[in-house]
Structure 1
């Protein structure tokens, strides 16, 4: 049976598009200029059965105004742009595609770490401006400790890569089962215990009311001297004013950020003026391989649910609606 699927982006990777085309489904794509109001209008005007959500906000008003909406799938794993409570209130499951972009995000985290530790981006910019600036104060990572806040698939892959550099690791994840395999890492009983040991602090947690601003002035001050912060999670889990202050003062050696509180960054953002920050525009999971896996996973999520073959409950962020 053909369904009407709304994709909150101009396109999907071919792996996802081909699945939709093969089933003869009607697919509504949104232009680059679309915003939350556009989504609300489409959901009122069109008989949408399912939404594949990318970066645009899927608000409570949009969900409440979609009479035929039955299922939502995130193109990825972060659902901070989806009004999950509104979906739950209507009995609509919200699925994610866990692991689909984990390798790409882990590689981005590693790239940011190496660039931040050795000031690679700064030296590149200096050379392009005609200056032979040979920074010789970079940090050698061998023998240092990687602190991982959250120990999901991205964190595990990053840790495996850092093992090859001669690093050790500590993990803080209160949701991790006590008998979970840590791949040689040590487990911290509290965030404070982790911070005290972390020469590199890498964040791998979703944005929730509990994690918003989790890393602030006190947490940054608790890190060892010359520590590095890596964030490929969500910008809002860091108090950005505190981060900027720590970077300016030298209390923090450097930061590598794929996510920031403000996206896109506006020209006056202080992060853009700091030589000890490496910035990328939230593209950790945006390699062709990751985009293909996320597109296929998101399409399979919604089509499986609509056909009576729902995905595993572990991929649902509001599993109470499934009972």
Structure 2
């Protein structure tokens, strides 16, 4: 079985190859072809009709070279790629959603596409809580000021002091694998947790110690809000100027999910006026943000370069998840996480 391993600088070909070999373990003879992609050293972007991809269609077509299976995180699998790879039967993508794959074209070509739900849930949940703590307690901003030579003793003044998680109401917008983990951590800190997600199970939310409410109610009641929804047509710019206006004065907003969930335009004015107390961001509407980005000059901004899922365990777990799908395919078993169930991998 010929396999294209299209790794990158995070989930590398060595991880992918070793995981596939361990999983297949003699159930098929493996012939690997490799393609090395430059992400995350070079940012991802749209390639033809797919999003968040690294590399070119031409590179993938050349590297496939008769492959039956492809494992990747970032390679673009477009209509042109599928048309050029008639022997391809399975594309296993080691990320939470295969946005770098044209699912309609894959289905038409009879190529099953799998993905890796939950691969970065632990890393992303921990990072979101870290951003929340940093924003509520001025950890990042006070560190930057101290290193630049300014001792902000006034942060200990009552008017400027931070807020503890213990006893604070935190709203979570979205309650998938990451949002649920964040809720359980926050409850352990002693926070009151509200959840807004029209698809969440009320009993499951309650079992985690949180309360399911509608979005407007969550925004009105929350001292801090963290976004964890998937980006869809329904959720794009879910939090806009009107929604931000519902927050209590001085509230903290965290987005480590998807840049498209948030309208970034009203953030800088809200920070300058004090309407927002702080924002902590790991994702953006444009990545990387441009040089004239208004938030560069706004107060109380924490900004990290899309790092929430960047843990060694995430990369290892992602490789194992895609390898498990290759193993199922090699043994003729049903695939576990298929994004296009109308396609057949056989």
TM-score bucket (shorter structure): 0.7 to 0.9
- TM-score normalised by L of structure 2: 0.82
Label 1:68 to 1:103 Cα distance change in 2 as closer, same or farther (>3 A).
same
Label 1:160 to 1:101 Cα distance change in 2 as closer, same or farther (>3 A).
same
Deviation at 1:201, TM superposition (A): 1.3
The match for 1:316 among 338, 341, 344 is 338
Query: In the alignment, what sits opposite 1:176?
Result: 200
| Conserved? CA contact 1:199–1:227, under 8 Å | yes
Structure 1 residues 139-148 or 45-54, which shifts more? Answer: 45-54
Tell me the secondary structure at the aligned position of residue 180 of structure 1.
Answer: helix
| Conserved? CA contact 1:6–1:48, under 8 Å | no
- TM-score normalised by L of structure 1: 0.88
Label 1:65 to 1:226 Cα distance change in 2 as closer, same or farther (>3 A).
farther
Tell me the secondary structure at the aligned position of residue 56 of structure 2.
Answer: helix
The match for 1:99 among 111, 118, 128 is 118
Label 1:209 to 1:49 Cα distance change in 2 as closer, same or farther (>3 A).
farther
Structure 1 residues 40-49 or 4-13, which shifts more? Answer: 4-13
Once residues 15 and 56 of structure 1 are traced to their aligned partners in structure 2, the CA distance between those partners, rounded to angstroms, is 16
Residues 1:200 and 2:217 are matched in the alignment: no
Query: In the alignment, what sits opposite 2:27?
Result: none
Label 1:64 to 1:292 Cα distance change in 2 as closer, same or farther (>3 A).
same
Q: Which runs of 5+ in 2 are unaligned?
A: 25-29, 49-54
The match for 2:57 among 19, 36, 40 is 40
Residues 1:72 and 2:71 are matched in the alignment: no
| Conserved? CA contact 1:97–1:298, under 8 Å | yes
Label 1:274 to 1:307 Cα distance change in 2 as closer, same or farther (>3 A).
farther
Structure 1 residues 246-255 or 234-243, which shifts more? Answer: 246-255
Tell me the secondary structure at the aligned position of residue 321 of structure 1.
Answer: coil
Alignment of 1:1-323 (within 5 A): 2-10=1-9, 12=12, 15-21=15-21, 24-32=30-38, 36=47, 38-45=55-62, 46-55=65-74, 57-134=76-153, 135-136=155-156, 137=160, 138-182=162-206, 183-188=208-213, 190-312=214-336, 315-321=337-343
Deviation at 1:252, TM superposition (A): 1.4
Deviation at 1:167, TM superposition (A): 0.6
| Conserved? CA contact 2:6–2:13, under 8 Å | no
Aligned residue pairs total: 319
Deviation at 1:112, TM superposition (A): 0.4
Deviation at 1:185, TM superposition (A): 0.8
Tell me the secondary structure at the aligned position of residue 241 of structure 1.
Answer: coil
Across the aligned residues of Structure 1 and Structure 2, the Cα RMSD in angstroms comes to 2.6
| Conserved? CA contact 2:92–2:113, under 8 Å | yes
Structure 1 residues 208-217 or 244-253, which shifts more? Answer: 244-253
| Conserved? CA contact 1:145–1:200, under 8 Å | yes
Per-residue CA deviations over 1:214-270 (Å, capped at 9, x if unaligned) read 111111111122211111211111111133332333211111111111122333322
Per-residue CA deviations over 1:175-214 (Å, capped at 9, x if unaligned) read 22354353111111x3222222222211112222221111
Q: Which runs of 5+ in 1 are unaligned?
A: none
| Conserved? CA contact 2:60–2:75, under 8 Å | no
Once residues 196 and 222 of structure 1 are traced to their aligned partners in structure 2, the CA distance between those partners, rounded to angstroms, is 5
